[in-house]
A and B are shown apart, each in its own frame.
Chain A
Amino acid sequence: DGGITQSPKYLFRKEGQNVTLSCEQNLNHDAMYWYRQDPGQGLRLIYYSQIVNDFQKGDIAEGYSVSREKKESFPLTVTSAQKNPTAFYLCASSIVPGDNEQFFGPGTRLTVL
């Protein structure tokens, strides 16, 4: 089955630690995205990648970093510089950049203690 996987579903970290969230897709999609969702809020774009080895900052990139070394993978690192990292993180992909239909993974709920 094709799809997007994110692991783990729940993640707990101590304040001051960096943490990397995994996102893998086997849909052969060119574009991938990372969103953050806070309770009762919409999705805010952190970073996106239109093609391998290239990525751009979204609206709330501060305190986050990404890499896109393979088409299938787009990991997100939440660094200690992120002031309020506790949130629900969603990874998505689309066939081509700017496609109106994005396919989302199940999300990772990060709690920083």
Chain B
Amino acid sequence: GQSLEQPSEVTAVEGAIVQINCTYQTSGFYGLSWYQQHDGGAPTFLSYNGLDGLEETGRFSSFLSRSDSYGYLLLQELQMKDSASYFCAVRQNQGGKLIFGQGTELSVKP
């Protein structure tokens, strides 16, 4: 089978750093993506890792370790507007569809 595992909920305070983990088990792997979705809204693309290592985009960074079938999204200097659900997604092959995790609901407190 294929599965992506993420924590269901994470809570952090404004200004802090939070890490959202994603482990995957899929029949193929062609990259890990992260999406953000505010309540009732459209998911928006945050980042992509095709190779091992860290990708940084402003306050957000994403990491991948293919040997561990593991990745994470790191959010720094948390702001209230970062409260949202975050989804990891795996593409199994070139040209293939994305498989999404169940999502992690991040709550940022004052």
Residues of A within 8 A of B (CB): 33, 35, 40-45, 48, 50, 58, 88, 90, 92, 96-98, 100-107
A106's closest neighbor in chain B, by CB? B42
Q: A41-B102, A42-B100, A43-B100 are in contact. Are A98 and B42 (CB under 8 A)?
A: no
B6's closest neighbor in chain A, by CB? A42
Nearest-neighbour CB distance to chain B for A108, whole angstroms, equals 11
Q: A43-B43, A43-B87 are in contact. Are A100 and B94 (CB under 8 A)?
A: no
Question: How far apart sit A42 and B8, CA to CA, in the bound complex (Å)?
Answer: 11
Q: A41-B103, A90-B43 are in contact. Are A101 and B48 (CB under 8 A)?
A: yes
Nearest-neighbour CB distance to chain B for A43, whole angstroms, equals 4
For A92, what are the chain B residues with a Cβ–Cβ distance below 8 Å? 43
Which residues in chain B, 19-44, are within 8 Å of chain A measured between CB atoms? Answer: 30-31, 33, 40-44
For A35, what are the chain B residues with a Cβ–Cβ distance below 8 Å? 100
